[in-house]
Structure 1
Amino acid sequence: MEEKRSVKLALLGLGTVGGGVYKLLERQKEELLDKAGASLELVKILVHNIKKERAGVDASLLTDKWEEIIEDPQIEIVIEVMGGIEPARTMILEALNAGKNVVTANKDLVAEYGRELLDAAQKNQVDFLFEAAVAGGIPIIRPLKQCLASNEIDEVIGIVNGTTNYILTKMFEEGMDFEEALAKATELGYAEADPTADIEGLDAGRKVAIMASIAFHSRVTFSDVYTEGITKISAKDIGYAKEFDSVIKLLGVAHNTEWGIEVAVHPMIIAQDHPLASVRDSFNAIFLHGDAVDDVMFYGRGAGELPTASAIMGDVIDVARDIRYQCTGRISCTCYRDTLVKEFKDVKNKFFLRMQVDNKPGVLAAIASVFGVHKVSISKVIQKVITDGVAELVIVTEAVKEYHMEDAIEHLKDMDTTREISSVIREY
């Protein structure tokens, strides 16, 4: 029987996710020998404060010196879970150039510097894997690169931020306003002390850039992604969505069209019969369409200590198998195209517009005229009298280019009969 070898690992960071990786390595120690075809031995953990007490962790593994890892030829896999751009980028590049394989969960880094890191991996014929960077424990990178590789993917849409999905679920199901739902998410640990990256769509934007790059085989960076958060969504908007038999979700949306790639993150009204509408609380899901496979959805925990560690360890096992058979670097960058990313102003969307107007004859006709001037077709109008001569008007449009809708809204704001543009939300 073949003798199984040992693969030595180093872990960069021992926060929530690093702690999860450590736990899984300990929990699965015996099983991993058979699963990976090699024993996986953690020999170094890089931490900022080596004197900090860390219950349950072998203190002899801790170091605050990067050179003890980068200069050790026996370490074959480096697992980066520090987060942020620097020093993670420099350390990963040094590891790749030293012939070490790297596994990371760092979405910020991959979304901005993915090409540089993948090029370094390819040059040195080592693995650079990042399954955990997009949707925690949900497998999506590997399925796109391998299982669905024979497909032409034209759509990837997803709920890829658990904090915002939890907030919108509470607003929809329990009638909470935004601030109350955010406070609840913070109390339960779903939201950070500074939730800006989540509620403004930045976290989701980085993940969508990565998914679009892989799905469409062309480089998309975070700066290409139009991002809009959920802070302006109100209880009234939720109420209208219910009337329309729909829900509101923060969606990452990427389309591969004959005119270029469309990529954005923003709230969307989506019909309740769509599979993504049923994704509740902090769960994530990614829905895609391929020319051969048709519709596919991946669903599960998008974050958290062990779900994210699960994705990281899946990559580690993959690398160990490649090391065993001397085939590291076999799947590197798959962005072999150079497809244009469309300006967001040229993307077509349907819109839900809620506004407060003077409640008097001729106002609706004047508004319809403004939309006509700016090439916006109306599909539905709902008018409800509020008080003191002010009516709330809801208009749903057909698909229209973003810049036409933007021009129409600016025109409406200039009208004497317009009191307020309360909400502008896209519809799927």
Structure 2
Amino acid sequence: MPGQKPIKVALLGCGTVGTEVVRLLTDQAADLTARVGAPVELAGIAVRKPNKHREVPAELLTTDVDGLVESDVDVVVEVVGGIEPARTWLLKALHGGKSVVTANKALLAEHSGELFQAADSTGADLYFEAAVAGAIPLLRPLRESLAGDRITRVMGIVNGTTNFILSGMDSTGASYSETLEEATRLGYAEADPTADVDGFDAASKAAILASLAFHSRVTAADVHREGIASVSAADIAAAKGLGRTVKLLAICERVTSAGGESISVRVHPAMIPRTHPLAGVNGAFNAVFVEADAAGEMMFYGRGAGGAPTASAVLGDLVAVARNRVVSGRGPRESAYAALPVRPMGQAPTRYHISLDVADRPGVLSQVAAVFAEHDVSIAAVRQEGRVDDASLVIVTHAATDAALRSTVDKIGGLPVVREVVSVMRVEGEET
């Protein structure tokens, strides 16, 4: 736009995502100018080792992050990751009146309240669509499009690495370790996959989703977390036999009880019916299923990671904050008015699939069923297969608190007729 002052952008980090951000800013410069109403100008890129970034203009590179953040830029885009020093840099930017676009899920899951307060103190914007599910437009619908509705549940696959592994185990029958090795070879898993396979990545995303959906501050520490390392080929086969598949799910739900409303937020592997919309989400794709009172059921699906998909979400946020700068507007603020408490996992309503190795003699089922009755847990289905000296007993429960179900399993494991509790897995996505 002739005579319009450019929107100056500082980019912190130039790895896989940062490089794509630079490319999109360059390739789409004319279109971005038209969409924003002013030129979008990359003022500098903060990196640790400038000589390793030959793909971007050398004159833009700097190791002086503080100097770049404190310069006369309008927007700071952060794609470094981690909590520190990213937290310090972004707080400095927001306190300086600069809007922030970040893809940093770990930081937001721990310090979103602090960041929003800093943004409010100066009227700056804080946008973070790229922090969850890559290119999938998910956070903005929760934050804006569904702001007039009452969201009751958010359940989804938000980690591509674990979904690739579980999908591979389902399709090939291979073990967890074999499929993880394949995922690493193909670049879907990091050399150290702990953050993904132990559920830390998904837990951070679940905290962000729950905060937005239920207008309450939820941190990663509030999220019950279990990974997929204990999922066996036998678990996958058992799920198949019941018309189910296994997914690592992030589940955020509003729970109403006599004590009022609360939130259950958890990440764990679970069996879901093959007819459920999430069951067909395979490979490294992500999908999130949202339920709301008025809107009903919705699913958001797409590529949840990678340089280009994540950069797409970053650029979408950048356009939004740049437009706000041009018209002296402001984006949505933090909405945490509900302040709903987070339930301990023991109080969360869930269902179990329990596989037992038992003695093959009369009365076994009645002894096991008595333990369920003692803990007030209702049995939905039972399948028993006999062998020469022992038998396999599979039980699927109706909904009960996780604590009651866990106590039931512990008590069953001590019965003389039970040789081994072979596996325990939660069941989701079905009528209870």
Q: Which TM class, normalised by the smaller chain length?
A: over 0.9
1:4-15 to 2 correspondences below 5 Å: 4-15=4-15
Q: Structure 1: which amino acid aligns with 2:277?
A: P
- Distance of 1:55 and 1:47 partners within structure 2: 12
Q: Is the 8 A contact 2:173 2:237 kept in 1?
A: no
Q: Secondary structure at the match of 1:30?
A: helix
**Residue 82 (1) aligns with residue 80 (2):** yes
**Residue 66 (1) aligns with residue 65 (2):** yes
From 185, 203, 224, give the equivalent of 2:222.
224
Name the residue aligned to 2:146.
148
Q: Structure 2: which amino acid aligns with 1:376?
A: V
Name the residue aligned to 2:180.
182
Q: Structure 1: which amino acid aligns with 2:138?
A: I
Q: Structure 1: which amino acid aligns with 2:222?
A: D
Name the residue aligned to 1:103.
101
Deviation at 1:397, TM superposition (A): 0.6
Following superposition, which runs of at least 4 residues in structure 1 exceed 6 angstroms of deviation? none
Q: Secondary structure at the match of 2:74?
A: strand
Q: Deviations over 1:181-220 (max 9, x none)?
A: 1111111111111111111111111101101100111111
From 193, 196, 199, give the equivalent of 2:194.
196
- Distance of 2:394 and 2:313 partners within structure 1: 44
Q: Deviations over 1:133-152 (max 9, x none)?
A: 01111111111111111110
From 251, 273, 277, give the equivalent of 2:279.
277
Deviation at 1:35, TM superposition (A): 1.5
Name the residue aligned to 1:396.
396
Q: Which runs of 5+ in 2 are unaligned?
A: none
- Distance of 1:401 and 1:192 partners within structure 2: 35
Q: Is the 8 A contact 2:133 2:158 kept in 1?
A: yes
Name the residue aligned to 1:425.
425
Q: Secondary structure at the match of 2:187?
A: coil
Deviation at 1:337, TM superposition (A): 1.4
Q: Deviations over 1:151-178 (max 9, x none)?
A: 1000100100001111111111121211
**Residue 18 (1) aligns with residue 18 (2):** yes
Length-normalised TM-score, structure 2:
0.96
Deviation at 1:71, TM superposition (A): 2.7
Pick closer, same or farther for the CA change 1:174–1:60 going to 2, 3 Å. same
Q: Secondary structure at the match of 2:294?
A: coil
Name the residue aligned to 1:409.
409
1:345-364 to 2 correspondences below 5 Å: 345-364=346-365
Deviation at 1:113, TM superposition (A): 0.3
Instruction: Tell me the percent identity.
Output: 45
Larger CA deviation: 153-162 vs 266-275: 266-275
**Residue 302 (1) aligns with residue 304 (2):** yes
Q: Deviations over 1:257-304 (max 9, x none)?
A: 223111101111111111111111100001101111111111000000
- Distance of 2:293 and 2:410 partners within structure 1: 40
Q: Secondary structure at the match of 1:5?
A: coil
- Distance of 2:244 and 2:306 partners within structure 1: 29
Q: Secondary structure at the match of 2:19?
A: helix
- Distance of 1:358 and 1:346 partners within structure 2: 32
- Distance of 1:45 and 1:390 partners within structure 2: 66
Name the residue aligned to 1:378.
379
Deviation at 1:379, TM superposition (A): 1.2
Larger CA deviation: 295-304 vs 269-278: 269-278
Deviation at 1:3, TM superposition (A): 4.1
Q: Is the 8 A contact 1:232 1:423 kept in 2?
A: no
Name the residue aligned to 1:268.
270
Deviation at 1:359, TM superposition (A): 2.0
Q: Secondary structure at the match of 1:21?
A: helix
Deviation at 1:2, TM superposition (A): 6.6
Q: Structure 1: which amino acid aligns with 2:373?
A: G
1:286-297 to 2 correspondences below 5 Å: 286-297=288-299
Q: Structure 1: which amino acid aligns with 2:289?
A: F
Q: Is the 8 A contact 1:157 1:253 kept in 2?
A: yes
Q: Is the 8 A contact 1:228 1:266 kept in 2?
A: yes
**Residue 341 (1) aligns with residue 339 (2):** no
- Distance of 2:42 and 2:264 partners within structure 1: 42
- Distance of 1:245 and 1:282 partners within structure 2: 22
Q: Secondary structure at the match of 1:163?
A: helix
- Distance of 2:201 and 2:356 partners within structure 1: 30
- Distance of 2:413 and 2:42 partners within structure 1: 61
Q: Is the 8 A contact 2:70 2:93 kept in 1?
A: no
Deviation at 1:244, TM superposition (A): 1.6
Length-normalised TM-score, structure 1:
0.96
Q: Secondary structure at the match of 1:118?
A: helix
1:36-47 to 2 correspondences below 5 Å: 36-47=36-47
- Distance of 1:127 and 1:222 partners within structure 2: 23
- Distance of 1:16 and 1:212 partners within structure 2: 28
- Distance of 1:70 and 1:58 partners within structure 2: 19
Deviation at 1:119, TM superposition (A): 0.9
Q: Secondary structure at the match of 1:55?
A: coil
State the aligned residue count: 424
RMSD (Å), alpha carbons: 1.3
Name the residue aligned to 1:331.
332
Pick closer, same or farther for the CA change 1:49–1:56 going to 2, 3 Å. closer
Deviation at 1:231, TM superposition (A): 1.3
- Distance of 1:128 and 1:386 partners within structure 2: 61
Name the residue aligned to 1:211.
209
**Residue 320 (1) aligns with residue 319 (2):** no
- Distance of 2:4 and 2:337 partners within structure 1: 36
Q: Which runs of 5+ in 1 are unaligned?
A: none
Q: Secondary structure at the match of 1:38?
A: coil
